[in-house]
Amino acid sequence: MFVKYINSCHMMITRNDLSSDCHPWQKEIINHILKLRLEKAKLLGFDNYAEVSMETKMATVDKAEELIEELCNACHSSAIQDMEDLEIFAKGHNAVEANQLRHWDINFWSERLRESRCDINEEELRAFFPLSRVIEGLFSLGKKLFGINIYPADGLAPVWNNDVRFYCVKNLSDVPIAYFYFDPYSRPYGKRGGGWVDLVVGRSRVLSHDATSHRLPVVHIVCNQTPPSADKPSLMTFREVEVLFHEFGHALQHMLTNQDEGLVSGTKGIEWDAVELPSQFMEHWCYRRDTLMSIAKHYKTGESLPEDICSKLLATRTFRAGSELLRQLRFASVDLELHKNYIPGGLESIFDIDQRVSRKTQVMPLQPEDRFLCSFSHIFADTYAAGYYCYQWAEVLAADAFSAFEEAGLNNEKAVKETGIRFRETVLALGGGKSPLQVFIDFRGREPSPEPLRRYYGLKPALAVS
């Protein structure tokens, strides 16, 4: 009954499509959700709901707060510089006077500044990313890093649409180790948008035919690229390329697992804040110049992506990175504060807490009437309560993992292969059978560090925020 009541509160919030205009009853629902979560924590023997959440996470409450503070310090000076750049740019266009930017100006002028610095026509860029070429480059990268070969296996298994392809993954000894479906194209009248990976059957010894060998895993990778036309192949945006690499990372964790117990094979049993490590790790390869240039070929001429466009594309990674990260840290910080220290009916309202947290995590002070919390569905109508920090935690893990390849020498083919096999035998193979911290230490030789993430985002040296 207790859980059902919390869920009914969640549904009420979701149904009403919360906006920045927060009605009193919405505030009361949020307060009631927080009150019930605190009661649940007490019943389970915890001091607060944040501790309950961390029971299924890699981090502890203290470690999550420590990471948030460290990243806030790392990106605060960069975010200040971002704001100054934006004000100068807007003033140069006679739009506002110095220091007169308002919250509602930021997105508009940020986009104009991005166009000025990284002028890339996304539609023209599509011509350089035909799906077939991207797939070829992705499979080649899989062989280089993890010692796998991927072959078409169409006809070996039934498919739900004629566009769906079936592939066999083999080790270098030509022995099948996994299979996957690839459903690449959008179908507006029967397929939801976005990209995802799901398990068809997982690796398992108990469920194998003879109970002595193991059942091979089968997954499906689903994307929503533009279908080919009569005169064009399927052409991708760079964001769609990132999504494909991301989802392939999830698929690898299912396909290359060594766990024979189904409950901890693949991504099963892996703590939530660690499960995105392989997917975000694969995204880093999209920003490697040699990887990018190997997959970016014009579908008609075979011409490589022009160098100036490649440079602009790579520069988009660090554009306003400090500001964007600080914005996410505000969400993570207020989430933990509400689930750790908020006292329902106490002196501070939920909005007072948001204002207090934002003074440390925002360059531009919030509007007094800001009611963002009424639309924070991740923590009130979804499953991220006291867990929004997971996004940043996984980013740190992935960046640090990628930096291991840099340290080995990205131009050293032997060292890259050795590091890739170590990544495969730890991060990809061990599933939920070992704690993610120990898995990371097995791969990296130490605990994770946020320094590589700071470097990849081009953040300035840390500046303490009081």
Q: Active-site residue among 247, 276, 283, 395? A: 247
Residue 247 designated active-site: yes
DSSP structure string for 349-388:
-HHHHHHHHHHHH-SSPPPTT--GGGG-HHHHSSS-TTTT
C-alpha to C-alpha distance for 42 and 56, rounded to whole angstroms: 17
Helix (H) or strand (E) holding 326: helix 321-340
- State the helix-helix crossing angle for 61-92 and 321-340, rounded to 10 degrees: 140
C-alpha to C-alpha distance for 245 and 286, rounded to whole angstroms: 8
C-alpha to C-alpha distance for 153 and 200, rounded to whole angstroms: 16
Whether the CA torsion 137, 142, 144, 148 is positive or negative: it is: negative
On the 0-12 / 13-18 / 19+ scale of CB atoms within 10 A, 283 is buried
Q: Which of 347, 312, 181 is nearest to 255 (CA)?
A: 181
Under DSSP, is residue 196 helix (H, G, I), strand (E, B) or coil? Answer: strand
Residues 82/320, Cβ–Cβ less than 8 Å: yes
C-alpha to C-alpha distance for 423 and 401, rounded to whole angstroms: 8
Residues 340/48, Cβ–Cβ less than 8 Å: yes
For residue 195, how far is the Cα from the chain centroid?
12
C-alpha to C-alpha distance for 119 and 128, rounded to whole angstroms: 16
Tokens of 374: 């009424």
- Could you give the angle at the alpha carbon of 332 between the alpha carbons of 443 and 55, nearest 5°? 60
Phi/psi of residue 441, nearest 5 degrees: -65, -40
For residue 176, how far is the Cα from the chain centroid?
30
Q: Which of 336, 333, 317, 448 is nearest to 385 (CA)?
A: 336
- Cα separations in angstroms, 81 against 5, 243, 311, 331, 394: 46, 30, 22, 21, 26
**Residues known to be catalytic:** 247
